[in-house]
Amino acid sequence: MKKENAWKKYTDQDLAKLEELCTDYKKFLTVSKTEREATKEIIRRAKEKGYEDLEDYIKENKRILPGDKIYVNNKGKAVALFNIGTEPLTKGMNILGAHIDSPRIDLKANPIYESNELAYFDTHYYGGIKKYQWVTLPLALHGVIVKKDGTKLNICLGEEEDDPVVGITDLLPHLASEQMKKEASKLIEGEDLDILIGSKPISLEKEEKEAVKQNILNILKEKYDIEEDDFLSAEIEAVPAGKARDFGLDRSMIMSYGQDDRVCAYTSLEAFLEVENTKKTLSCILVDKEEIGSVGATGMESHFFDNAIAEICALMGDDSNLATRRVLNHSKMLSSDVNAAFDPLYRSVMDERNSSYLGQGVVFCKYTGVRGKSGSNDANAEYIAELRKIMDDANVSFQISELGKVDIGGGGTIAYILANYNVEVIDCGVGVLSMHAPWEVTSKADIYEAYRGYIAFLQNA
């Protein structure tokens, strides 16, 4: 069923609101290139809206009441937000959930080495990438180094105009005849994604072994007080350098690194912070590690979300395990994750009747998974009917899509994890072109409709 392009319905007032939202979104993307940076920015915005740390409630044994606004910081890499409603919490919550990690290049634990008087960082890629897309790009370094005494050094190098950048080199076409015969997946091997960081040897009167590497170590010591061994307790990510920007001569789109899934994280957050005076308790959970299977203490597989609910229940007078189970059992969720937007240049892998399209609104995906729906959450028809009514009543443009043709491939989200708690859940997000590439493209109209759709869900589900 063909949906009308959302741009056609906008008034001048709508367009002004759309541009205001998207301008702020670009700022969010630019300062949130890692899960740590996103967590910091999310908490900053939440605190501006009056949200308080759950840890403070616990320390003071402070009773939680309707109207309270609470955030949970999970190890600086994931956040859960709660807006406590007037109805009993055991009647369930309306939940928005997205992830704030993105595909990237990580430094290994012993990263610095020298080869033929060039200094490199040894790397390991994170998430599903086309490795050949990451060569010859200006890269910035973001992350933390934690010294043995507990001192934490925040690293952000390559984003300012006068900062140096680093990058991964490629073979010139004149000598690449053998390379070009390889399959695309083998064109650049993972072990060849090492980042060139220097070429100038240290100035010494006597000959110095690995003088270029030593010069880099001296620079790190002088500027950051970093020793080589400090990289053993570091998390440094290499990401594309540069700001989020308008894309297209008509400025109708946004190009940026990390829109999977920070486009849904941002719209979920802003919608969540917009809603006040709620009957049903609302929650927004923004997590790490989705790109590698939602594993680990900061991924959705962790119990930090249900642990937070248990703490809230206890501070509301019910510390039974059954209370937490009832909360989740009666909850509804939008798993806010991106979808592959239809690209006319690659139509052979798409089912045109069941694809999402730029400019046609927020995307519901009933099931993801692989081929025969393997590994998917398959949302109930009754729940989808309810959401259709909510969106139509709020005049939100929406579409329903699959992720490509049946036997081509597939993917997964955090939806199935919440479904394990018997939460009603469906994937709902923004269509993206060039997903998982260093630079991804979204439609401003879809960003605006996602924001509006999330508000409608929170208020009416």
Mean pLDDT of 104-122: 97
Residues 364-407: tens digit of each pLDDT: 998 887 877 877 888 999 999 999 999 999 999 999 998 888 88
In the chain, DSSP finds a helix count (H) and a strand count (E) of 11, 22
pLDDT at 277: 84
Residues 20-41: tens digit of each pLDDT: 999 999 999 999 999 999 999 9
Per-residue pLDDT band at 2 (split at 50, 70, 90): low
Indicate if the pLDDT at residue 273 is higher than 70. yes
Kindly give, in sequence order, each residue whose CB lies less than 8 Å from that of residue 384, ignoring residues fewer than 6 positions away: 364, 366, 400, 426
In 75-117, beta strands by DSSP E: 78-83, 93-99, 104-115
Longest dimension (CA), the chain: 78
pLDDT at 216: 95
Per-residue pLDDT band at 1 (split at 50, 70, 90): low
Q: Quick count: other Cβ atoms within 10 Å of Cβ 325?
A: 16
Residue owning tokens 């990289």: 231
Integer Cα distance of 69 and 54 in angstroms = 9
pLDDT at 321: 85
Residue owning tokens 């491939």: 409
**Angle 172-175-180 from CA coordinates, rounded to 5°:** 85
Q: How many CA atoms lie within 13 A of 218 on its CB side?
A: 12
Is the sign of the CA dihedral 83, 88, 90, 94 positive or negative? negative
Mean pLDDT of all residues belonging to the chain: 94
Residue owning tokens 């409608």: 456
The pLDDT > 70 percentage for the chain reads 99
Integer Cα distance of 260 and 101 in angstroms = 8
pLDDT at 410: 76
Domains of the chain by start residue, with CATH: 6-102+257-460 (3.40.630.10), 105-240 (2.30.250.10)
**pTM of the full structure:** 0.96
